Amino acid sequence: MSSDSPNVALFVTCLVDLMRPSVGFAAVKLLEDAGCAVSVPATQTCCGQPAYNAGDRADARAIARQVIEAFEGFTYVVAPSGSCAAMIKIHYPGLLADEPGWAARAEALAGRTHELTQFLSDVLEVDEIAAQYQGIVTHHDGCSGLREMGIKEQPRALLGRIGGLALRESPKAEACCGFGGTFCVKYPEISAHILDEKIDDIAATGADTVIAGDLGCLLNIAGRLKRRGLAVKARHIAEVLAGSTAAAIGEP
């Protein structure tokens, strides 16, 4: 790796770290293939969204400070998740706005943080993807990525460069999947109802695979696809772009 390759820290996200490391390795591969030097700070755990969204502001702040410390000193911070990237980029500055010393550090980190597909498309301007994929896919837009980060075209542009892949859009690609973090376990019936509409839309596209950029949405969607006995597979976009051979989510 040359000394002028972009110096990127991967924010793995807790779900990828714990549930599906193959997404993390796919992200590393994509970044390295694009010429980045990738580091993975070892003191990272979680971005703090569970606490933040539960109204536990004190813990959310403490976690934010820990993330800031772990990720200072890198040119870029990249996360394979629209919602965790939004937490760092959009919410940390507000969370730490009145903490002397930390506000500026939060702003600085926010300025360097990107979601993976956004980083590949907009910053690195990747225009070649080596992976092949035989099949029809549909893309689900995770809410935070879409509405807070403005991620819409980037994943589609990248998927469009994969040989063999056909993208079939659902008119309701932007509809929420009903995950919502702890929402899905606090109000399981409502969540399941929203999720079923999502599943019906996905099924209606005729795609064999649903792709998204957030493992939260994907675990939710895959879990219901399996429960309903549908054959549609669910995969994180990083895995598809990197040509990962890991079994699809929820498959042995």
Partner 1 sequence: MDATSSAFPENSRRALADERLQEALHRLADGFPARRREAVDRLPEFDQLRAQARAVKDHVLENLDSYLERFAAKVEEAGGHVHWCRDALEARQTVLRICRDAGARTVTKSKSMVGEEIAINEHLEAHGIEPVETDLGEYIIQLRREAPSHLIAPAIHLSKDQVTETFKAAHGEFPVGRRLDEPRAMLDEARTVLRKRFVEADVGITGANMIIAETGTAVVVTNEGNADLTMTLPKVHIAITGIEKVVPTLDDAVTVLRLLARSATGQDVTVYTTFATGPRRDDDVDGPDAFHVVLLDNGRSALMESDFRDILRCIRCGACLNHCPVYSAVGGHAYGWVYSGPMGSVLNPGLVGIEEAHHLPNASTFCGACEEVCPVGIPLPKMLRHWRERAFRARAVGATGRAGMRAWAFLALRPRLYRAVTGAVMAVLGALGRRRGRFRRLPLAGGWTVARDLAAPQGPTFISQWAQRRRERS
Residues that bind partner 1 (CB under 8 A): 12, 14, 16-22, 24-25, 40, 42-46, 48, 50-57, 59-60, 62-63, 66, 143-144, 147-148, 175-176, 178-195, 219-220, 222-224, 226-227, 246-247, 249-252
> Which residue, 56 or 161, is less far from partner 1 as judged by CB?
56
> Which residue, 82 or 162, is less far from partner 1 as judged by CB?
82
Are 36 and 126 in contact, with CB atoms under 8 Å apart?
A: no
> Which residue, 138 or 191, is less far from partner 1 as judged by CB?
191
Determine the Cα angle at 222 with ends 186 and 219, to 5°.
50
Nearest approach, Cβ of residue 230 and partner 1 (Å): 12
The residues, any chain, with a CB within 8 Å of residue 132's CB and separated by 6 or more, are 162, 163, 164, 165, 243
The residues, any chain, with a CB within 8 Å of residue 81's CB and separated by 6 or more, are 13, 15, 16, 115, 116, 142, 145, 213, 214, 215, 216
Nearest approach, Cβ of residue 124 and partner 1 (Å): 21
Nearest approach, Cβ of residue 97 and partner 1 (Å): 13
Nearest approach, Cβ of residue 126 and partner 1 (Å): 22
> Which residue, 8 or 162, is less far from partner 1 as judged by CB?
8
CA 50, CA 59: separation in Å to the nearest integer? 10
Residue in the block written with tokens 């469009």: 160
Residue (of 50, 65, 54) closest to 13 by Cα position: 50
Nearest approach, Cβ of residue 98 and partner 1 (Å): 13
> Which residue, 59 or 169, is less far from partner 1 as judged by CB?
59
CA 249, CA 252: separation in Å to the nearest integer? 9
The residues, any chain, with a CB within 8 Å of residue 12's CB and separated by 6 or more, are 24, 27, 40, 44, 79, 80
> Which residue, 126 or 219, is less far from partner 1 as judged by CB?
219
Nearest approach, Cβ of residue 163 and partner 1 (Å): 27
